[in-house]
């Protein structure tokens, strides 16, 4: 029976071509490899694994089928984002048949992300990773110093960014030393170069004395395509910014451009020009501030003088009382009294000054523009008149102040001074240093 069946089978094969496994496999290989030579295939990654040589194996799947794929390490390096299970991709390559196993697979050369695009996917993946590591944490953000004396800049010397920033500095209050560490900001080498420049400025700064430190870094470039700006989305740049001991302002492209560098930086400036404006204040604002401070100083001294004048008034009243008492004394004591009176005589001049003061008051209140809103305030009117009587002006009228040296304390108590002491007499246009030879406390 069996022989019969076999014979029948042999009969049916008469005149038919019988392939060996190797033959048919070779034919299949020929057909598949010629037909599917340069193809794009889309699907979802699953079962991804990488072997030590760097070659990556995975399966591309959709709801109905699976396709085995392989990508060699030299091509893996060209992929911007991380290959992971579940990601939807489009692969470019050719179908190859591995004769020994009778298996066909897609020899992949290029992979693009489906949907958002490869660059975007890479960005999202890196963002997620750095976020988890805490590189964007608000707690890590340092304040940008007010009015830095030294600024470091990392950008290209040929680009628009540096020109824009220097232009802004010319307009602003730029009492500042700018240190540029040039870096390529475009192309393959840019990411490494930017990171290098940031690191170098930090090492340089570490060795500077505290007074000369770089207080803030601006890292950026002018506008361009997303590919042009890509270096600022690279991990090595993000880490250099994160590790910078100097606070960093990112200034990449235009307002609409957002990069990873912006997320890591202590402060994001929309453009390089804005960065320069952030570190350098407007000149006008500072001039106004300085004016206000000078005004407060003036007001203070005016009030001080008002108070001193009242004190003087009180003294004058006591003196005139003392003088009338003196006349009641007998002649024998009159001589010493006369001596005392002579000493008092400069004070008599004060009354003249006070009457001059009220003249000045009238003149000043006519010409006083500064205080126009406060014109009716009695205090300010007084202050205005009296500011012309600053202590320095009083010196101008021939008075002097004596200081004990080297402490430079005003001498009021005669007991505080003795022969041999050094004293300094401040007059309006001179300071005289003298040595005391005698102190007459009865004088």
What is the chain's Cα-based Rg? 45
Cα dihedral sign for 353, 355, 361, 367? negative
Q: Which stretch binds other proteins (CB under 8 A): 23-31, 325-333, 375-383, 404-412?
A: 404-412
**What would the DSSP string read from start to end of 347-405?**
HHHHHHHHHHHHHHHHHHHHH--TTGGGTT-HHHHHHHHHHTT-HHHHHHTT--EEEET
Among 254, 296, 375, 418, binds other proteins (CB under 8 A): 296
- 170 near other proteins, rule: CB under 8 A: yes
CA dihedral 151, 154, 159, 164 (to 10 degrees): -20
Q: Shortest gap between Cβ of 276 and other proteins (angstroms)? A: 10
Among 175, 338, 359, 431, binds other proteins (CB under 8 A): 175
- 46 near other proteins, rule: CB under 8 A: no
- 260-289 residues near other proteins, rule: CB under 8 A: 283, 286-287, 289
Q: How far apart are CA 351 and CA 313, in angstroms?
A: 9
Whether residue 401 contacts residue 395, with contact meaning beta carbons closer than 8 Å, is answered with yes
Look at residues 401, 403, 400, 368 and name the one whose alpha carbon lies nearest to residue 298: 368
Number of residues that bind other proteins (CB under 8 A): 44
Helices 235-243, 190-206: crossing angle, 10 deg rounding: 10
Q: Shortest gap between Cβ of 250 and other proteins (angstroms)? A: 19
In eight-state DSSP terms, residue 407 is: T
Q: Shortest gap between Cβ of 371 and other proteins (angstroms)? A: 18
Which CB atom, from 71 or from 276, has the smaller least distance to other proteins?
276
Q: How far apart are CA 74 and CA 71, in angstroms?
A: 8
Which CB atom, from 96 or from 182, has the smaller least distance to other proteins?
182
- 204 near other proteins, rule: CB under 8 A: yes
- 92 near other proteins, rule: CB under 8 A: no
- 431 near other proteins, rule: CB under 8 A: no
- 203 near other proteins, rule: CB under 8 A: yes
Q: How far apart are CA 40 and CA 67, in angstroms?
A: 12
Binding site for other proteins (CB under 8 A): 146-147, 149, 152, 157, 163, 166-167, 169-170, 173-182, 200-201, 203-204, 207, 283, 286-287, 289-290, 293-294, 296-297, 300-301, 304, 308, 391-392, 403, 408-410
């Amino acid at each position: 029976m069996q022989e019969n069946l076999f014979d029948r089978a042999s009969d049916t094969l008469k005149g038919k071509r019988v392939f060996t496994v190797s033959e048919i496999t070779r034919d299949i290989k020929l057909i598949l490899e010629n037909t599917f030579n340069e193809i794009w295939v889309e699907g979802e990654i699953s079962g991804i694994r990488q072997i030590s040589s760097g070659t990556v194996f995975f399966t591309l799947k959709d709801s109905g089928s699976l396709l085995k794929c392989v990508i060699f390490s030299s091509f893996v390096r060209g992929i911007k984002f991380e290959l992971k299970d579940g990601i939807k991709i489009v692969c470019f390559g050719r179908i190859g048949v591995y004769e020994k196993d009778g298996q066909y697979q897609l020899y992949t050369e290029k992979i693009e992300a489906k949907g958002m695009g490869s660059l975007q996917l890479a960005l999202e993946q890196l963002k997620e990773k750095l976020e988890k590591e805490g590189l964007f944490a608000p707690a890590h953000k340092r304040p940008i110093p007010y009015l830095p004396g030294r600024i470091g800049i990392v950008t290209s010397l040929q680009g628009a960014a540096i020109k824009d920033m220097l232009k802004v500095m010319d307009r602003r209050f730029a009492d500042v030393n700018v240190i540029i560490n040039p870096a390529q900001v475009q192309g393959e080498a840019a990411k490494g170069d930017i990171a290098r420049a940031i690191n170098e400025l930090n090492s340089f700064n570490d060795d500077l004395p505290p007074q000369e430190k770089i207080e803030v870094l601006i890292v950026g470039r002018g506008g361009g395509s997303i590919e042009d700006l890509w270096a600022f989305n690279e991990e090595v740049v993000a880490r250099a910014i994160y590790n910078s001991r100097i606070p960093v302002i990112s200034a990449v492209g235009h307002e609409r451009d957002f990069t990873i560098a912006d997320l890591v930086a202590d402060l994001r400036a929309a453009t390089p020009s804005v960065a320069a404006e952030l570190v350098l204040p407007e000149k006008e604002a500072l001039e106004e501030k300085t004016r206000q401070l000078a005004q407060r100083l003036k007001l203070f001294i005016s009030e001080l003088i008002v108070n001193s004048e009242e004190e003087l008034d009180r003294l004058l009243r006591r003196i005139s009382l003392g003088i009338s008492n003196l006349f009641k004394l007998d002649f024998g004591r009159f001589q010493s009294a006369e001596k005392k009176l002579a000493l008092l005589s400069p004070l008599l001049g004060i009354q003249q000054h006070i009457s001059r003061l009220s003249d000045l008051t009238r003149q000043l209140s006519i010409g006083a523009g500064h205080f126009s809103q406060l014109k009716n305030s009695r205090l300010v009117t007084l202050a205005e008149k009296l500011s012309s009587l600053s202590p320095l002006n009083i010196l101008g009228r021939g008075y002097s102040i004596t200081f004990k040296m080297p402490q430079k304390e005003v001498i009021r108590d005669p007991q505080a001074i003795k022969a041999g002491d050094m004293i300094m007499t401040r007059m309006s246009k001179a300071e005289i240093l003298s040595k005391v030879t005698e102190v007459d406390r009865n004088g």
